[in-house]
Chains A and B, each alone.
Chain A
Amino acid sequence: GQQLNQSPQSMFIQEGEDVSMNCTSSSIFNTWLWYKQDPGEGPVLLIALYKAGELTSNGRLTAQFGITRKDSFLNISASIPSDVGIYFCAGQLSGGGADGLTFGKGTHLIIQP
């Protein structure tokens, strides 16, 4: 089955720093999504990408859908304490209708005081 390689596994940063994480796949996806999960909660959708090359922002978050449709990155600018959590990339194959998501293993973001 498809696999998503997400990196880095964890990041230890200072408040105010910018963050960058990415996902790569051996398969083409038609949709890339980025989720954030807090302890004891379900994943919350941050950004959805639908076109190759698309660059989308949501506040301090920016994500891009790679031209090859096999990768995506997420940037967080000027990190704040509430950014702490686990970030997941997810890919969807189907170009028409919904399909199950394939998830990366997550990036743990930790902000050091």
Chain B
Amino acid sequence: DAGVIQSPRHEVTEMGQEVTLRCKPISGHDYLFWYRQTMMRGLELLIYFNNNVPIDDSGMPEDRFSAKMPNASFSTLKIQPSEPRDSAVYFCASTSDNRGTYEQYFGPGTRLTVT
């Protein structure tokens, strides 16, 4: 079975440019999460969706960040305009009800570098 798929794996961009990260969750999963990992702050939740609807976006840093889930098999995280402090690894994870449990499975991540 395919796991969570993220693209691109690496992204290098200049400050001020728009960046779009993509995620395909595991088929059949109805929850999708975006996390960010930095050395200083570790792994942090940015936003999550249930049945394509955003449930909690309190972790989104600021208005420059936006996330969408137009259908059950695709989500994007967009940063516009990007800044050097956005440099991090961004992970997507998904889950669904498994006999009352919800174990989250992570993608390989997108390493973003903003110069």
Residues of chain A at the chain B interface (Cβ within 8 Å) = 31, 33, 35, 40-45, 48, 50, 88, 90, 92, 94, 97-106
Contact = CB atoms under 8 A, between A and B. Distances in A.
B104 A45 contact: yes
A27 to B, nearest CB: 15
Contact of A100 (B42, B56, B101, B105): B56
A43 B101 contact: no
B43 A100 contact: no
The DSSP consensus for interface residues of chain B is strand
B105 A45 contact: yes
B91 A92 contact: no
Chain B, interface size category, equals: 20 to 34
A106 B93 CA distance: 18
Q: Which of A31, A35, A94, A100 has the most CB of B within 10 A?
A: A100
Contact of B42 (A94, A99, A106): A106
Q: Which of B96, B103, B105 has the most CB of A within 10 A?
A: B103
Contacts of A102: 45
A4 to B, nearest CB: 9
Contacts of A99: 48, 56, 102
Given A41-B108, A45-B105, A98 B50 contact: yes
A91 to B, nearest CB: 12
A59 to B, nearest CB: 17
